[in-house]
Structure 1
Amino acid sequence: MTTLQGAVVLVTGANGGLGTEFVQQALERGAAKVYATARTPREWSDDRVVALALDVTDAASIAEAASIAADTTVVVNNAGALAPSTMLDADLGEVRALFETNVFGPLAVAQAFAPVLIANGGGALVDIHSALSWHAAGNAYSATKAAFWSVTNSLRLELAPHGTQVVGVHLGYTDTPMIADLDVPKGRPDDIVRRVYDGVESGEHEVLADDTAVYVKSVLSRPVVEQYPQLAAS
């Protein structure tokens, strides 16, 4: 398990709804410092927050951030993008770009910061997935989250011998600016982040951060036509 008390936390995508909560709640739990990273960092009112430029699709940007934030003990891989286009109609360039942001970017962050975490005692890597990691939504976004989930499972095995806790987080729709235009029930970002940090501090490998994630995982063993009723109709 990893405590947030006295920790040095790095959050990717810190300007977003979940990212802001990860920064603020880390401070509330006693973090000594939080690197709030984004492509275009914003100002923060707390002296413990260090605004840091980090583009997860830019190898040089990641390397520079890892060099600057060499005291990091907890990494929250939160940055991501949304693209709702269907798979058959999607522009392949846009699909590749989405995979760069949602899969290869977080993997690159993990590769760069794994030695940092190990050097600082192990620490924790927290990867933010989705309930759509387990349920295809007919678009590239859910495909990227499924891939990222698999990446995290491999990272967990590779980092375990080094004492690094790897936490995979799954959640449904959450009330953040990224999905503000979707007319669906949404969870509260503060509730989600609270459950994530509770899981980190209690030593969990996986956090199902809301009822949607709990339900979707519970039906994974069902036949495909039960998971996707539209197949029966066709």
Structure 2
Amino acid sequence: MKISGSVALVTGANRGLGKQFVASLLDRGATKVYATARRPELITIPGVIALRLDITDPTSIAAAAAAAPDVNLLINNAGIATGQSLITGDLAEIRREMDTHFYGTLNMIRAFAPHLAEGTILNVLSALSWFSLNGSNAYSAAKAAAWSLTNGVRLELAAQNTQVTALHLGAADTDLTARYNGPKIPPLQAVTAALDGIETGQLEVLADDWSRHVKASLAGDPAAFYASMTAP
């Protein structure tokens, strides 16, 4: 699909990648952009329709779907990072990660799928969909589930010609990664790659060198990959 002339809805649009998605969609000629957040008063970009949306609340999702029936581009961007370990972490927080990244994304797709024949869904995933890292293991598990979800709904929505695209990246320079000291790419780099990928019909967009490296490693021995992670 073409971004110009599209009607888009972006979750988690008040900051980070979501805010950049909204700005870039407008720059590229989207006819209408629904910018959603749990606190829509924090959405500051002019020219959008701000909607209250909590993707962990089915009632909130249903209200957003009713308010935005003309959407043909759904960008599932909203996410959290709780920093929980799987063995000793807070189970309630681990469930919150899964409720957000897996069930929240799934419920958004289920609610909007009837509007998206001939349209597009973009799920914002992560290179951590494909590996685990101490300090992010709950996040990795939830993103891995969201990756599998993305592949599954792509098959199920093929009959109505809905394009389902996954965006993977290492780390973008946003509030979510404020405590991460490793390399980060500008949000614009990730968003531009994603929107270009939508327009060229890509099923999977790898926005940076790290996501490309991790994806390529899946064909190899995982022992080699994890050894390289700990090498000096």
SS state of the match for residue 183, structure 2?
Answer: coil
> 1:44, CA displacement in angstroms?
3.5
- Distance in 2 (CA, whole Å) between partners of 1:207 and 1:113 is 22
Aligned residue-pair number: 228
| Equivalent residue, structure 2, for 1:5 | 4
SS state at 1:52 partner: strand
Across the aligned residues of Structure 1 and Structure 2, the Cα RMSD in angstroms comes to: 1.6
User: 4+ residue stretches of structure 1 with deviation over 6 A?
Assistant: 230-233
User: How far apart are the structure 2 equivalents of 1:232 and 1:86?
Assistant: 18
Judged with a 3 Å threshold, the aligned counterparts in structure 2 of structure 1 residues 61 and 206 are, in CA distance, closer, same or farther, namely same
TM-score, length basis structure 1? 0.94
Aligned counterpart in structure 2 of residue 164 of structure 1, from 162, 165, 187: 162
Cα deviations across residues 179-227 of structure 1 (Å, max 9, x unaligned)? 1121111011001100100000011111001111100000101112112
Q: 1:46: how far off?
A: 2.6
Equivalent residue runs for 1:1-234 within 5 Å? 2-41=1-40, 42-47=42-47, 49-118=48-117, 122-138=118-134, 139-229=137-227
Amino acid aligned to 1:99: M
Identical columns (%): 46
Equivalent-residue separation in structure 2 for 1:93 and 1:180 (angstroms): 23
Asked if structure 1 preserves the Cα contact closer than 8 Å seen for 2:35 and 2:43, the reply is: no
Any gaps of 5 or more consecutive residues in structure 1?
none
Which residues of structure 2 form unaligned runs of 5+? none
Greater shift in the superposed pair: 70-79 or 219-228: 219-228
Paired residue secondary structure (1:228):
helix
> What is the alpha-carbon distance in structure 1 between the residues aligned to residue 18 and residue 172 of structure 2?
12
Give 3-state SS (helix, strand or coil) of 2:116's partner: helix
